[in-house]
Structure 1
Amino acid sequence: MISPRTATLLLILAVWVGGSIPLLFERSHGRLMQFLSLATGFFLGSVFLHLLPELAGEIGGALSPWAWMLGGLLLLVVLDLVLIGRQGHAMVGWGALLGLSFHSLAAGMGLGVLLEEGFGAWILLGLALHKVGEAFSLASAMRLVLEKKRSLLLAILGFSLVLPLGMLLGLGLRESFSQRGGQILSALSAGSFLYVAVGHLLPEVFHERGGRLAKVSFLLLGVALAAIPLFFEGPAS
């Protein structure tokens, strides 16, 4: 078993690795579209391969996870059309940050409940790969909003701290922890991901006719990358 402190540091490092990849390449329109295609596939894969299967077994009640998922989508609709409105690509970056933060906080709370038990190597590897994909997708989306690398690095820094915060909350609330809170956050993030991916990223990536085969290839690669952690969920350490 890997100690909680070591696991936390490795997951933070995974965020920095993923978030730094888009910064290693010179900013160009073609490269940005490739990264956004990859991010779009990752967001869609996260929704349909991870979040929805987790929520599917929790149907029931007036405030079921599906209602919260709709709430997450409508929240971004309101932010986009009413509050952000004319600021162009702002919702792509900030919406991605909001949705990923919901998701990371929920995951952190769930891990915090089990913090004292430590982490199996296979499970930690799956989590780390997922964090790399999340941070890469976030950095790619934020490049539409933030031109300065310093601002982008600050956004990545903030995101890297969300998971440890969730773990601390889960640890502090483990005796009274209810899965309901984590399910609500996961549902909100699913709705946010869907709106950002379908409402903004897909139109942004494919509004130009050129290079569509390459863009589709990167999109499918993003879905495949989102699926990789599924292979690490079964084995124990």
Structure 2
Amino acid sequence: MTLIAILLGTISAGIGSVWLAALLSFGALARYTQHMLSLAAGALLGTAFMHLLPEAFESQASAHDLFATLLVGLVFFFLLDKAELWHHGHEHHGVPGDSPGPDHDHAHHGHSHGHGHEHASGGWAVLAGDSVHAFGDGILIASAFIADMRLGFVAALAVLVHEVPHHMGDLIVLRRQSANNRRIAIVKVSLAGAVTALGGVVGYALVDQLYGYLPFFLIIAASSFMYVALADLIPQLQKRATLQETAAQIAWLAIGIGLVMLVSALAAHEH
């Protein structure tokens, strides 16, 4: 009975949050792409700095080990991005129309790989980070269900609501990576979200042994969101903009961070 409850809770939290985020991202807000990039950067940074890192550092793990994991995570996602761009570059080598065009005018902002290649950037890091984060969420939900059935449902609901702002960020990144295909973006993030159920099952079987590693799952997930926000999204917002456009970018960035902080505060209150 507990295992069935864990499966229901983790699937609802993992996939339900993605579909809710898709409704919000691709509904009325879809036409404001530039604003959504700012919102995505804010949501990813907010999730990393206001939720994942504090939770990891509240554990018994040593700060030195956690910072070392964060550093390794950031370097790993940088190399993953490099490998993806290198692979993409070889695939498109010598293809007509792949010559430098207007998209290269912002090369000095860190996107020297042109428009087609820009879509490849950040996608794998988001999915890897999402999967690790979802696995950790699954273990957390399983632990809550094992402790008390009612606490389990509260934890599943908290995870579902909590994931919405940052899944909105993920969907924006992956839609750009998938040549603006919303369906592919939703399927990819849903598959990463489904890893929550795997975390739930593994958590149910090995909750005592795995619980000590949870802080490291949180840190690796945080490193992926930090990398994508700082290396992929924010450089795109660094183009020359009017004062009004800059103010809008800052406002949407703040809204993304604020949403995550609000949901974090509500989740903490529920606990």
Q: State the partner residue of 1:137.
A: 169
Q: State the partner residue of 1:218.
A: 252
- The answer on whether the counterparts of 2:9 and 2:141 sit within 8 Å (CA) in structure 1 is no
Q: Tell me how far apart the structure 2 counterparts of residues 129 and 23 of structure 1 sit (CA, whole Å).
A: 18
Amino acid at match of 1:143: R
- The answer on whether the counterparts of 1:80 and 1:91 sit within 8 Å (CA) in structure 2 is yes
Q: What is the RMSD of the two structures over their aligned residues, measured on CA atoms?
A: 2.4
Match of 1:23 among 22, 26, 44: 26
Q: Tell me how far apart the structure 1 counterparts of residues 44 and 182 of structure 2 sit (CA, whole Å).
A: 23
- The answer on whether the counterparts of 2:42 and 2:256 sit within 8 Å (CA) in structure 1 is yes
Q: Tell me how far apart the structure 2 counterparts of residues 185 and 9 of structure 1 sit (CA, whole Å).
A: 19
Structure-to-structure mapping, 1:89-104, within 5 angstroms: 89-104=119-134
Q: Determine helix, strand or coil for the equivalent of 2:158.
A: helix
Structure-to-structure mapping, 1:1-237, within 5 angstroms: 3-4=5-6, 6-11=8-13, 12-25=15-28, 28=31, 31-57=32-58, 58-60=60-62, 64-85=65-86, 86=113, 87-116=117-146, 117-120=148-151, 123-146=155-178, 147-180=180-213, 182-210=214-242, 211-236=245-270
Q: Determine helix, strand or coil for the equivalent of 1:197.
A: helix
Is the helix fraction higher in 1 or 2? 2
Deviation at 1:32, TM superposition (A): 1.4
TM-score, scaled to structure 1: 0.85
Q: Tell me how far apart the structure 2 counterparts of residues 89 and 23 of structure 1 sit (CA, whole Å).
A: 18
Q: Tell me how far apart the structure 2 counterparts of residues 188 and 196 of structure 1 sit (CA, whole Å).
A: 13
Q: Tell me how far apart the structure 2 counterparts of residues 66 and 122 of structure 1 sit (CA, whole Å).
A: 30
Q: Tell me how far apart the structure 1 counterparts of residues 63 and 256 of structure 2 sit (CA, whole Å).
A: 34
Q: Deviations over 1:180-235 (max 9, x none)?
A: 2x222211111111111111111112324141111110100000011122323344
Alignment gaps of 5+ in structure 1: none
Q: Tell me how far apart the structure 2 counterparts of residues 193 and 220 of structure 1 sit (CA, whole Å).
A: 16
Q: Tell me how far apart the structure 2 counterparts of residues 234 and 61 of structure 1 sit (CA, whole Å).
A: 22
Structure whose CA Rg is larger: 2
Deviation at 1:25, TM superposition (A): 4.7
What is the total number of aligned residue pairs between the two structures?
A: 231
Amino acid at match of 2:135: L
Q: Deviations over 1:51-79 (max 9, x none)?
A: 221222445387x1111111110011112
Q: Tell me how far apart the structure 2 counterparts of residues 99 and 9 of structure 1 sit (CA, whole Å).
A: 18
- The answer on whether the counterparts of 1:19 and 1:138 sit within 8 Å (CA) in structure 2 is no
User: Cα–Cα, structure 1 residues 61 and 15, in superposed 2: closer, same or farther, change >3 Å?
Assistant: closer
Q: Determine helix, strand or coil for the equivalent of 1:91.
A: coil
Alignment gaps of 5+ in structure 2: 87-112
Q: Deviations over 1:92-133 (max 9, x none)?
A: 232222222221211212222333322446544432221211
User: Cα–Cα, structure 1 residues 118 and 74, in superposed 2: closer, same or farther, change >3 Å?
Assistant: same
Q: Tell me how far apart the structure 1 counterparts of residues 225 and 46 of structure 2 sit (CA, whole Å).
A: 10
Amino acid at match of 1:8: T
